[in-house]
A and B are shown apart, each in its own frame.
Chain A
Amino acid sequence: MSDLYLSHVRNWFWKSPPAEWLMKGARDVLIGTLKQGPIPKHVAFEMDGNRRFARNHKIETIEGHHLGFEALARVLEICYKCGVKVVTVYAFSIENFNRPRGEVKGLMAMAKVKLEQLVQHGELLDRYGACIRVLGERDLIPDDVLPFVDRAVEMTKHNKDAVLNICFPYTSRAEMTSAIKATIDEFTSPSQPSKAPFSQTRITQKIRSNYSKQTESLDSIRETSPDTSARSDVDDSMSSTTALDPESPPLQSTTAKPRRFPNAEHITADTINSHTYTAECPPLDIFIRTSNVTRLSDFMLWQCHENTHIFFLQCFWPEFDLWHFVPVLLEWQWRHKKILEKESPRK
């Protein structure tokens, strides 16, 4: 009983205006102080532990998510005040669709309401220079949420000061797959025709079309004959040199064959990187996962492979606040200093 009474007194104290004013001052000073040192440009949060927090506090799961959203608002404010340019949060995984239907519905409703409210306050957002991007599989966003997503992104896209990446429905493997596919698309669309007045490909094309006009009847017979399959096997070595080959494919594919593709050898990690969702963002400096789970769980795999400081924290996401973030930032600044010290004597 006395315990309960004490906690009431403590709550009353911390919620009293003078205490609140003092805490606010302390936070401001702390943030102003930390800004003196190096500041990470890109921070990613894996917001884990909403449900465990709800279970521990005996509240509804969706309530836990709502508290998690409040924590997100808090964290974003801290980050952007410190000068972090890009914050990436893992809002919803593709795997999360396997959760109980009620919870998924609740989360989607929450996303919809938040985005709807956001859209109503467009001109306010501009004052903060914040831009929202939604990363992930668009096709999987429910139809009733999608228009709000689009409008929120559209309304804020001209802002350049700060970026919030919301990963919604996202998995990193899906992202890497789509980046690889986009790279392949880039390298399999024919390169721009050169501006030279006489084009070799055009000449060969003309000759070939003349040639195949003459032998059209012959080709149509040949096409059905089994040797087409045999030809596809030698395709590898011949495709670039078949220009005037008497065995050249029939007309329908003559338009396809002489396409000149960019050399696939020119693909580098940067090419793939430029097709990931975070292409325009600076490299990831800090990765934070809460609730003491030490896995990446399909989040930012491509991005955090190097020079990213990964922190696994004990607290649940709804509890996350400045007091959890400051030690992380301090340690990052400290390591940053150490790394610089290590590098400088070598130079």
Chain B
Amino acid sequence: MSFTTRDTQIYREDEKSGHRKLGPEEREELVKVGGYTFFISGSIAGSIRPSPRLATSKLCYHSEANATYQNYLPAPSSRQRSSSRVKKQDSSRFGIRRFLKAQFYALLYLIIHAIFSLYIRIRIAYHSISNRLVAILKHHYNSPEYIARDIATLKRLPAHLSIILTLENGGKGDALEKLVNEVSEVAAWCTAAGIPKLSVYEKTGILKRYMTQTHRSVCNRLKIWFGKHQSPPVALFARGAPAIRSHGRQSLDLILISEDDGREAMVDLTRVLTEMVQKDKIAAKDITMDVIDNELSEAVMSEPDLLISFEPYVDLQGYPPWAIRLTEIHCAPDNQGVGYQLFLQALRKYAQATFKLGK
């Protein structure tokens, strides 16, 4: 299955000589005895058994080729079965070997998963302890000065930060309150760090129904952080709803997005474009990537620079696909809940990341 060293050597020598060394027939010979098919095509599945016969002279395979052909290549229908198993099936009448093999694999599967389960539990425990410790050491004490000090060393900051939050327990109990609280908290961090734009993704879109309350809560939080009179104004946006602004020059744009702004928004745009084409207002050939990009970034939001997921693993949950193209995604493995240490970690990672866009 894995390529033997010798096969790889032969393959690489052929590669170096500009693929002149091996003709099609010789390559096929290599396939019959080794794993070379994958080099040739880079695509095929199946199982091929490497064989030490490659070492013997080439003439030898030509005579043997037809005999070994059937053994080393799977029959067209039995791609998944390994050739060795096919052979064994033929030899054992009652399928005892196959049965034992299946039992063996099932047992091994249980053992491997038990070990992995143990490992992952230890990992979760380790991460939660270390997260807690870092959270204690790097606390912001609700003070913008601490945050400003923490980020002072960073070379650059994202102009647009995006976060994914989840509504717990399907919105029962104080889940909504907790969510609004988290939004206000992150908004305060962003304002203190000088990030001008924050978008909050929450799958169900419940926050969009409580925009005034969210706005009030964020403003109150900022008042606590910055003092009643110095608190920076906030503008709250959501697709298809009037923006809520507080007086004065805006220092933080807060955008609420939900599942509807993902694929659904693109569907809506397609409908509008279709209607326009149907009424001959625009020609179908004029619809380009720029047009779509412009429309989606105006109506939904522009591309975020950094996305922080506070989930235990990266799960986009229906996040707008168009916007996420070059977004740096940060997610601490096994993390639970919104924490400042994660925010800081993400900003640090963003400052170190290099962007080359295909180059």
Contacts and interface: CB of A to CB of B under 8 A. Distances in A.
A17 to B, nearest CB: 6
Contacts of B108: 29, 33, 36
Interface in A114-145: 114, 117-118, 120-121, 124-130, 132
Interface in A289-340: 293-298, 301-302, 304-312, 322, 330-331, 333-335
A150 interface: no
Contact of A305 (B101, B120, B321): B321
Of all A-B residue pairs in the complex, the 5 with the closest CB atoms, nearest first, are A95-B358, A80-B45, A73-B38, A36-B109, A128-B44
B289 interface: yes
A180 B273 contact: yes
Interface in B19-55: 19, 24, 27-28, 31, 35, 37-47, 50, 52
Contacts of B263: 269, 272, 302, 305
A77 B35 contact: yes
Interface string B100-141: 010001101100110011001000000000000000000000
Interface of A: 15, 17, 20, 23-24, 27-29, 32-37, 66, 69-70, 72-74, 76-77, 79-81, 83, 93-99, 113-114, 117-118, 120-121, 124-130, 132, 156, 161-162, 164, 172-174, 176-177, 180-181, 183-185, 187-188, 235-236, 239, 256, 261, 264-265, 267-269, 271-272, 293-298, 301-302, 304-312, 322, 330-331, 333-335
Nearest to A120: B24
B159 interface: no
A95 to B, nearest CB: 3
Given A32-B105, A309-B315, A267 B358 contact: no
A271 B273 CA distance: 14
Given A309-B315, A310-B314, A235 B279 contact: yes
Counting chain B CB atoms within 10 Å of each CB, which of A23, A95, A184, A235 scores highest?
A: A184
21 contacts: A23-B2, A27-B2, A29-B105, A36-B106, A66-B15, A70-B11, A77-B35, A77-B38, A95-B359, A118-B40, A118-B41, A120-B24, A121-B41, A130-B44, A162-B45, A184-B277, A239-B279, A264-B274, A272-B267, A305-B263, A334-B116
A212 B267 CA distance: 39
Contact of A127 (B2, B73, B109, B288): B73
A269 B322 CA distance: 14
A246 to B, nearest CB: 21
Nearest to A296: B324
Given A161-B45, A173-B293, A177-B292, A188 B274 contact: yes
Given A176-B322, A177-B287, 16 more contacts: A34-B112, A36-B108, A76-B45, A80-B79, A81-B45, A124-B41, A127-B46, A130-B45, A164-B42, A176-B266, A180-B273, A305-B316, A306-B316, A310-B314, A312-B314, A333-B113
Contacts of B2: 20, 23-24, 27, 74, 322
A293 B42 CA distance: 25
A128 B289 contact: no
A40 to B, nearest CB: 15
Say what secondary structure dominates the interface of chain A: helix
B267 A70 contact: no
Nearest to A236: B279
Given A66-B15, A264-B275, A184 B117 contact: no
B76 A295 contact: no
A187 B270 CA distance: 10
A180 B326 contact: no
B74 interface: yes
B96 interface: no
B270 A172 contact: no
B278 interface: yes
A35 B284 CA distance: 47
A174 B288 CA distance: 9
B314 A180 contact: no
B221 interface: no
Interface stretch (B204-212, B235-243, B327-335): B327-335
A310 B333 CA distance: 12
B325 A298 contact: yes
A33 B80 contact: no
Contacts of B289: 173-174, 177
Given A28-B82, A124-B73, A264-B274, A256 B42 contact: no
A132 B43 contact: yes
Interface string B1-22: 1111100100100010001000
B269 interface: yes
A184 B28 contact: no
B267 A268 contact: yes
